[in-house]
């Protein structure tokens, strides 16, 4: 068997089509030339891949790589994010003395996908898998602040923060909240970005207002931003994008 062949002919041919589109928009004739496939076969495969959103069309009708590939790449990036999050959050916890979390948006909620809890004393505990609101808290602000205007406006409905607050988050690169999500709890969050700059997650520290004060960003924003930057760098090095 040819080393380039998996033994499953239709998959090998589909891979040829996707590889041909890696260099940019291509006509059907271009696909035939670059893949060596018969014209009917190239057309049938391209249309089938288009059905599954692995292939798309540009404004001129040429075949291009489809949006599903970006979604899969994003999911792979999130796996790399989770694999790296533990040590980064543990270091953030040790530097700040507060519990650290990593949140990802899922619809109208944000999910805690990783955490490093303060070992003892009064602390804000957010178990992995917890679903929290997108209408309150510094992580919610971060996950909403860089959305497109229409989605951001929908997210502001019923929220405890304003459009002005989100503009400040975008300007300084971090958010803080004091008693927004839960009375007596303060937090600071900063965005984790894909190589293209899209916000994929939010790194946070949280704890009692008595320790974090009513201006928690003053003490903890630099450490939180550094942790978020470390995770963003992991995605840049590994090529995780969205």
Give the pLDDT score at 241: 47
Which pLDDT band holds residue 195 (cuts at 50, 70, 90)?
A: confident
d(CA 200, CA 210): 31
- Domains in the chain: ranges and CATH: 9-75 (1.10.10.10), 80-238 (3.30.450.40)
What pTM did the predictor assign?
0.68
Tell me the two tokens of residue 214: 């009513």
**Nearby residues of 136 by Cβ (< 8 Å), 6 or more positions away:** 159, 160, 161, 177, 180, 181
CB 197 within 8 A of CB 224: no
Residue 23 is predicted with a pLDDT of 81
- Region 185-214: mean pLDDT is 94
């Amino acid at each position: 068997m040819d080393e380039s062949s998996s033994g499953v002919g239709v998959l090998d041919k589909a891979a040829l089509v996707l590889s041909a589109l890696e260099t940019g928009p291509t006509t059907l004739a271009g696909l035939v030339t670059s893949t060596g496939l018969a014209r009917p076969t190239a057309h049938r495969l391209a249309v089938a891949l288009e059905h599954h959103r692995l292939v798309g069309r540009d404004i001129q009708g040429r075949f291009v790589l489809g949006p599903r590939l970006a979604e899969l790449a994003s999911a792979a990036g999130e796996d790399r994010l989770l694999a790296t999050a533990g040590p980064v959050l543990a270091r953030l916890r040790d530097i700040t003395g507060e519990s650290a979390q990593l949140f990802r948006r899922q619809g109208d909620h944000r999910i805690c996908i990783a955490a490093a809890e303060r070992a003892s004393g009064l602390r804000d505990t957010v178990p992995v898998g917890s679903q929290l609101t997108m209408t309150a808290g510094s992580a919610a602000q971060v996950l909403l602040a860089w959305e497109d205007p229409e989605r951001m406006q929908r997210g502001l409905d019923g929220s405890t923060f304003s459009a002005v607050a989100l503009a400040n988050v975008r300007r300084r690169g971090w958010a803080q909240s004091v008693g927004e999500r839960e009375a007596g709890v303060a937090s600071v969050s900063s965005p984790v970005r894909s190589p293209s700059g899209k916000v994929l997650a939010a790194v946070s520290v949280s704890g009692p207002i008595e320790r974090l004060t009513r201006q928690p960003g003053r003490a903890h924003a630099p450490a939180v931003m550094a942790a978020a930057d470390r995770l963003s760098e992991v995605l840049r090095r590994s090529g995780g994008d969205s």
